[in-house]
Amino acid sequence: MNEDKSIRVPRINVVVLSGRLVRDAEKRVNDKGVGFLTFRMASDQVYMENGVWKSRPLYIDVIYPNGDLVKLDDTRGRLLKGTPVVVEGRLVYREAERDGRRVERYYIKANRIDILEVRAKKPFSDLDEDGGLPPDDEIPF
């Protein structure tokens, strides 16, 4: 195959992945005082084998850097084991040496995390007949 050297391949590294957290997110702070969240998520890999659809989990670590420690605490409190999320970011590769052997690691450095589940603040049975809405005369528009 002849490659056309004049074609420049763009450097696109965008990952969008949906799944559920495998364990609660953890907040960490690096040596420079910058806060970030870490968690592991599972996403289904769906494939066909012998005419039958199957799936297997894909596990990947996610790092969400954000210097706002207050916002991180709020987000961490909502990122609990089993929470469904959509993560958008870029794929990062790192290698290091541990105990005399090379360790390779891929993870997602997230720009955005969308939490897909809203937890009710109070049980539905505690709501008024109209779903907890204020009376019409109290609505300002």
The answer to whether position 93 is within a domain reads yes
The answer to whether position 78 is within a domain reads yes
The answer to whether position 48 is within a domain reads yes
Beta strands 35-49; 84-98: pairing state:
unpaired
**Is a pLDDT exceeding 70 seen at residue 39?**
yes
Containing structural domain, residue 34: 15-138
Q: What is the pLDDT of residues 106-134, one digit of tens each?
A: 999 999 999 997 655 544 444 445 545 55
- Separation of alpha carbons 100 and 97, rounded Å: 6
The answer to whether position 2 is within a domain reads no
The answer to whether position 8 is within a domain reads no
The answer to whether position 72 is within a domain reads yes
User: Average pLDDT over the chain, rounded to whole?
Assistant: 83
Count of domains in the chain?
1
% of residues, the chain, pLDDT over 90: 54
| CATH number of residue 35's parent domain | 2.40.50.140
The pLDDT of residue 33 is 82
The answer to whether position 34 is within a domain reads yes
DSSP-derived letter for residue 127 is S
Q: What is the pLDDT of residues 81-96, one digit of tens each?
A: 999 999 999 999 999 8
The answer to whether position 3 is within a domain reads no
Distances (CA, A) of 35 to 64, 65, 102: 9, 6, 28
The pLDDT of residue 98 is 87
Q: What is the pTM of this model?
A: 0.72
Q: What is the CA radius of gyration of the chain?
A: 22
